């Protein structure tokens, strides 16, 4: 469609084990450094899996300065608010808004959207009831009677899955269309797609899209491991010895707006959003199709949405979560769409783990860096590409993109598959 506006990205923010900010994470990727380390957040003595990619050594006040807020939100929200704040600041929109007259500023607020992919569903949130359960000793009426003397009155609010949407709104005066997408791993990538749609279809003039998650909890690791989803050492995407994924935590965010608006206020354009596709394979919570049918359909939809042929794609950031089944089906999907000549492929989870609801958004921010700097970083943990897989251009060392667009893939529980297509000018000013 020629009449639809170009949607550009003018701000990006991220936090994960590999660093605070997109640039720091990018440097760690280029340096080939993995931030998968022994878990510190709980005692792993005796645990079969004792590694993750935790955000360590970062003070909560570095993430969110307002200490009062810390009492009413949870860890995942700190990450989400940090990333969203960084993306909004980088866009220069706060200064732009400050110069507006009051009525224009009110319109600006009402036309600013917030879309979050939220991990939600934490087990540990319920652990705040443990002292009460101990005191009640199985006596439910006692549990009810002593409830208000024992548990923090703000308990429910602290664990609302939509806290990031709410507090990004309050802190940045964004009051427009919004969604909190609780679709497991796909949530963040879908938030980017929905934010772009909201701007394309004039439901908002700009929108921030965030993915945030903090899944490194004992119960989650216990179950993921029992289901055979976790590796004991590292993530080896597409490697013959890949043994599973590793959980990470963090958040990423991008600010999307119309290209004309960004240019008229002289904003730095980090990249362009071209299109998206989203489908489910309809197999329930855990299963996925061995043939990669859902992923290839999502890619085809994203290409059609962008109105570009598969051969124009310059590079691919694969989901590459390192599990046997997901990587194998992903490889088949890529070959189905790109034939025997796919563009260079990489994946980033080897460095900072699988960020679950945040994974798709952090990959978008890094894909823009790849395109601007003309580097498709290698996967250092890749020793031997799985000979059972159809041949793919993945490498332990860096490749070069063969065009100015990148396909970013994101998959999750529920048979979810999301494909995003972004573009960036090579050698544009660094972030």
Partner 1 sequence: MTPHRRIAITGVGMVTPVGNDAATTWRHLTEGRNGVAPITGFDARGFPARIGAEVKDFTDAPAIDPKLIKYAARAHRFALTAAEEAFTDAGIRPEPDTAHDWGCSVGAGMMGVSFSELEAVHAFCASEGEFRSQGLLDPRFPADPIAFCRSQTNTGLALLTRHFQIRGYATAVHTACASGGQALGTALKVMRRGRARFMLAGGYDSMLNPIGLAGFCLLGALSTDNDAPERASRPFDATRNGFVLGEGAGFLVLEDWDHARRRGARIYAEFAGDGNSLSSYRITDSHPSGDGPIQAMRQALDSAGLTPEAVDYVNAHGTSTLMNDRSECAALRVVMGAHIDRVAVSSTKSCMGHLIAAAGAVEAAVCALAIHHGIAPVNANHAKPDPDCAIQLVLGQSKPLRIRAAISNSLGFGGSNSCLAFRHPAEVAAA
Q: Which is nearer to partner 1, 294 or 342 (CB)?
A: 294
Neighbouring CB atoms inside 10 A of 67's CB total 9
Interaction of residue 96 with partner 1, rule CB under 8 A: no
89 binds partner 1 (CB under 8 A): no
Tokens coding 87: 């993306």
Judged by CB under 8 A, which stretch of 19-27, 96-104, 340-348, 408-416 contacts partner 1?
408-416
For residues 343 and 189, what is the distance between their CA atoms, to the nearest angstrom? Answer: 21
For helices 324-338 and 293-306, what crossing angle results, to 10°? 40
Is residue 395 involved in binding partner 1 (CB under 8 A)? no
Could you tell me the smallest distance in angstroms from the CB atom of residue 282 to partner 1?
A: 4
Tell which positions 261-280 bind partner 1, by CB under 8 A: 278-280
CB burial of residue 151 (10 Å; 0-12, 13-18, 19+): middle
- Here the tokens at position 361 are 């958004």
C-alpha–C-alpha distance, residues 164 and 74, integer Å = 10
Indicate whether 292 belongs to the interface with partner 1 (CB under 8 A): no
A 10 A CB-CB count for 415 gives 21
Is 401 a residue that touches partner 1 (CB under 8 A)? no
Provide the minimum distance between the beta carbon of 266 and partner 1 in the complex, in angstroms, as a whole number.
27
Neighbours of 397 (CB within 10 A): 11
Residue in the structure block whose two tokens are 């596709």: 277
| Tokens linked to 229 | 């989803």
Q: Does 428 bind partner 1 (CB under 8 A)?
A: no
Site for partner 1 in 201-260 (CB under 8 A): 201-203, 218-219, 222-223, 226-227
Q: Which is nearer to partner 1, 146 or 205 (CB)?
A: 146
- If the CB atoms of residues 315 and 408 are measured against partner 1, the closer one turns out to be 408
User: Which listed residue (179, 230, 267, 375) binds partner 1 by CB under 8 A?
Assistant: 179
What token pair was written down for 263? 């240019």
Cβ nearer to partner 1, comparing 199 with 394: 199
What's the rounded Cα separation, in Å, for the pair 180 and 164? 8
Nearest residue (CB) to partner 1, 226 versus 311 = 226
What's the distance, CA 257 to chain centroid?
Answer: 19
* Helices of type H across 112-186: 130-136, 140-150, 155-158, 163-172
Q: Measure the CA–CA gap between 195 and 285, rounded to whole angstroms.
A: 26
Q: Which of 13, 21, 120, 401 binds partner 1 (CB under 8 A)?
A: 120
Q: Which is nearer to partner 1, 191 or 382 (CB)?
A: 191
66 near partner 1, rule: CB under 8 A: no
Q: Is 54 in the site for partner 1 (CB under 8 A)?
A: no
81: contact with partner 1 by CB under 8 A:
no
Q: Helix, strand or coil for residue 279?
A: strand
Rounded to a whole number of angstroms, the distance between the first and last alpha carbons of the chain is 30
Provide the mask over 31-50, with x wherever binding to partner 1 is found by CB under 8 A and - wherever it is not.
-----------xxxxxx---
Per CB under 8 A, which region of 119-127, 260-268, 319-327, 391-399 contacts partner 1? 119-127
Strand partners, 346: 317
- Contacts of partner 1 in 142-171 (CB under 8 A): 142-148, 151-157, 159-163, 165-167, 169-170
d(CA 77, CA 163) in angstroms, rounded, equals 7
Report the residue from 5, 24, 37, 72 that binds partner 1 according to the rule CB under 8 A: 72
Q: Minimum distance between the CB of residue 378 and partner 1, rounded to whole angstroms? A: 33
Taking the least distance from each CB to partner 1, the nearer of 173 and 324 is: 173
- The burial class, CB within 10 Å (0-12 / 13-18 / 19+), for 373 is middle
Sole binder of partner 1 in the list 32, 33, 89, 129 (CB under 8 A): 129
Chain length of the chain: 431
Q: What are 254's strand-pairing partners?
A: 12, 209
Residue among 2, 99, 102, 130 that touches partner 1 (CB under 8 A): 130
Among 78, 114, 334, 375, the residue binding partner 1 under the rule CB under 8 A is 114
Residue from 282, 390, 391, 427 that binds partner 1 (CB under 8 A)?
A: 282
């Amino acid at each position: 469609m020629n009449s639809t506006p170009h949607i550009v990205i003018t701000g990006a923010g991220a936090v994960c084990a590999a660093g605070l900010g997109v640039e720091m994470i990018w440097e760690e990727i280029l340096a080939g450094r993995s931030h998968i380390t022994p878990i510190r957040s709980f005692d792993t003595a005796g645990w079969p899996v004792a590694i993750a990619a935790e955000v360590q050594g970062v003070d909560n006040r570095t993430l969110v300065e307002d200490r009062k807020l810390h009492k009413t939100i949870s860890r995942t929200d700190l990450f989400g608010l940090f990333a969203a704040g960084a993306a909004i600041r980088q866009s220069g929109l706060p200064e732009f808004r400050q110069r507006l007259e009051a009525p224009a500023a009110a319109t600006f607020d009402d036309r600013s959207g917030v879309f979050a992919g939220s991990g939600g569903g934490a087990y540990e949130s319920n652990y705040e009831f443990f002292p009460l359960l101990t005191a009640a000793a199985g006596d439910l009426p006692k549990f009810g009677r002593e409830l208000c003397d024992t548990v923090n009155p703000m308990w429910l609010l602290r664990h609302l899955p939509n806290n990031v949407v709410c507090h990004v709104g309050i802190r940045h005066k964004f009051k427009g269309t919004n969604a909190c997408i609780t679709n497991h791993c796909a949530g963040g990538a879908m938030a980017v797609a929905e934010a772009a749609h909201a701007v394309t279809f004039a439901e908002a003039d700009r929108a921030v899209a965030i993915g945030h998650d903090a899944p490194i909890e004992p119960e989650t690791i216990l179950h993921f491991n029992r289901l055979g989803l976790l590796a004991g050492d590292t993530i080896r995407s597409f490697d013959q010895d890949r043994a599973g994924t590793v959980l990470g935590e963090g958040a990423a965010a991008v600010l999307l707006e119309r290209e004309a608006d960004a240019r008229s206020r002289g904003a730095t354009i980090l990249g362009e959003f071209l299109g998206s596709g989203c489908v489910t394979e309809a197999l329930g919570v855990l299963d996925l199709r061995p043939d990669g049918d859902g992923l290839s359909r999502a890619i085809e939809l994203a290409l059609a949405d962008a109105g570009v042929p598969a051969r124009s794609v310059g590079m691919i950031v694969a989901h590459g979560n390192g599990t046997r089944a997901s990587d194998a089906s992903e490889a088949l999907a890529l070959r189905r769409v790109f034939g025997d000549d796919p563009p260079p492929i990489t994946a980033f989870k080897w460095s900072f783990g699988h960020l679950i609801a945040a994974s798709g958004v952090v990959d978008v921010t890094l894909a823009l860096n790849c395109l601007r700097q003309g580097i498709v970083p290698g996967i250092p943990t890749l020793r031997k590409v799985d000979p059972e897989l159809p041949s793919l251009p993945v490498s332990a060392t860096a490749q070069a993109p063969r065009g100015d667009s990148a396909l970013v893939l994101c998959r999750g529980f529920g048979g979810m598959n999301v494909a995003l297509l972004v573009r960036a000018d090579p050698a544009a000013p660094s972030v």
